[in-house]
Amino acid sequence: MEAYLDNSATTQVFENVTEIMTRVMHVHYGNPSSLHAKGLEAEKYIKTAKGIMAGQLKVREKEIFFTSGGTESNNLAVIGTAMANKRAGNHIITTRIEHPSVLNACKFLEEEGFEVTYLPVDKNGVVLLDKLEEAVTDNTILVSIMYVNNEIGSLQPFSEISEIIRRKNPKTVIHSDAVQAFGKCRIFPQKEGIDLLSASAHKLHGPKGAGMLYVNSRIKIKPLFYGGNQQDGLRSGTENVPGIAGFGEAVKMAYDNLDEKTQRLSQMKRDFISHLEKLEDVTVFSKNEGCFAPHIISAGFAGVKSEVLLHALEEKEIYVSSGSACNSHKKASSATLQAIGVPKDLLDNTLRFSLSYETAEEELDYTIETLTQLLPKLRLYRKR
């Protein structure tokens, strides 16, 4: 049996999505900027996708911009805002648990003379609101806080966050990296006070290489690329029409029956955690239901290196991540796990199980069963 529990790294593409993409590539392959009918056909796919996204977010279609993925969306949001608001101030606030595409964009801006505050989080990975309040000043041009954390799944109380920021500085732009949230949570940027919101197609059964940035029309940001002025000049370059069409279709399917699917996932997560906790020496970090998204489970396995456990599970066709997949190429302990206070001896012993609506109960049962067999065997050879 195979258990793919790495859906926060990437997901299998839905068949409907592949179908629509194939159609775009083979039949409606025009350049949306072309004046002729082939161009118009292609443009329609983009319009449809925009409509789907705008509908779900309850925003206007012209506020949706397509990019090459989450990383570009985050860079465009963070760097684009900073560059457009240089005169208003040079202070940026983010958190210690952001994705590298936000953190490293901030590092770049620090080199360019901006000041960045990295907010701490509590043991549930939620931003410390009093620290946030302290940090916002007249000089703050941007606050970037992720919606759902990619490693532990922590959710942020966005309405409260925006309220605090707006009270202290109404001009501050609020960005949220919602790559792990879009398609899994109902997000309403207007209501929650989010001006910029990033999303990625391949995290919700869409194709790789397609991303989205919602930009509130009152916000001015500078583009990263210069060229043919497609997408109102904010993102030059011929649109990735098959990717965008597939993205739209994937979003439609993700939000179809969302509440029912979320309920099922939550129940699965609850069961999985209770089974995990019955195993010896396992610590679950993403337990508190109010604070965590229903699709990510982060757990520490004392005495077993996460990489070893990961490969042992792989031999049984169970696929998981150690830390976050983007991070596992370098040998540094996860900043997120450190930020939520995971004890030192569990930092390199933590696995992430990430589910999707497609995950079957049997996959989780099989995983628990396999862990039950593997853990005692692997622990025989603890480093003495």
Q: Is 317 in the site for other proteins (CB under 8 A)?
A: no
Q: Applying CB under 8 A, what is the total number of residues that bind other proteins?
A: 15
Q: Is 309 in the site for other proteins (CB under 8 A)?
A: yes
* Binding span for other proteins by CB under 8 A among 131-139, 179-187, 303-311, 336-344: 303-311
185 flagged as catalytic: no
* Binding span for other proteins by CB under 8 A among 125-133, 193-201, 292-300, 326-334: 326-334
Q: Which of 36, 87, 218, 329 binds other proteins (CB under 8 A)?
A: 329
Residue 383 C-beta: closest distance to other proteins, Å: 9
Q: Is 314 in the site for other proteins (CB under 8 A)?
A: yes
Q: Which residue bears the tokens 């319009």?
A: 47
Q: Which of 185, 284, 308, 347 binds other proteins (CB under 8 A)?
A: 308
Q: Is 330 in the site for other proteins (CB under 8 A)?
A: yes
Residue 170 C-beta: closest distance to other proteins, Å: 47
SS3 for the chain is CCEECECCCCCCCCHHHHHHHHHHHHCCCCCCCCCCHHHHHHHHHHHHHHHHHHHHHCCCHHHEEEECCHHHHHHHHHHHHHHHCCCCCCEEEEECCCCHHHHHHHHHHHHCCCEEEEECECCCCCECHHHHHHHCCCCEEEEECCCECCCCCEECCHHHHHHHHHHHCCCCEEEEECCCCECCECCCHHHHCCCEEEEEHHHHCCCCCCEEEEECCCCCCCCCCCCCCCHHHCCCCCCCHHHHHHHHHHHHHHHCCHHHHHHHHHHHHHHHHHHHHHCCCEEECCCCHHHECCCEEEEEECCCCHHHHHHHHHHCCEECEECCHHHCCCCCCCHHHHHCCCCHHHHCCEEEEECCCCCCHHHHHHHHHHHHHHHHHHHCCCCC
Radius of gyration of the chain (CA): 21
* Binding span for other proteins by CB under 8 A among 76-84, 106-114, 239-247, 328-336: 328-336
Q: Which of 311, 341, 343, 372 binds other proteins (CB under 8 A)?
A: 311
Nearer to other proteins by Cβ, of 258 and 325: the residue is 325
Nearer to other proteins by Cβ, of 128 and 308: the residue is 308
Nearer to other proteins by Cβ, of 67 and 322: the residue is 322
Say how far apart CA 288 and CA 121 lie, in whole Å. 15
Catalytic position from the list 106, 185, 291, 326: 326
Q: Which of 41, 122, 307, 365 binds other proteins (CB under 8 A)?
A: 307
* Binding span for other proteins by CB under 8 A among 98-106, 132-140, 311-319, 345-353: 311-319
Nearer to other proteins by Cβ, of 270 and 377: the residue is 377
Say how far apart CA 114 and CA 85 lie, in whole Å. 11
Nearer to other proteins by Cβ, of 198 and 322: the residue is 322
* Binding span for other proteins by CB under 8 A among 274-282, 288-296, 325-333, 355-363: 325-333
Q: Which of 136, 145, 310, 340 binds other proteins (CB under 8 A)?
A: 310
Catalytic residues: 326
Residues that bind other proteins (CB under 8 A): 307-315, 329-331, 380-381, 384
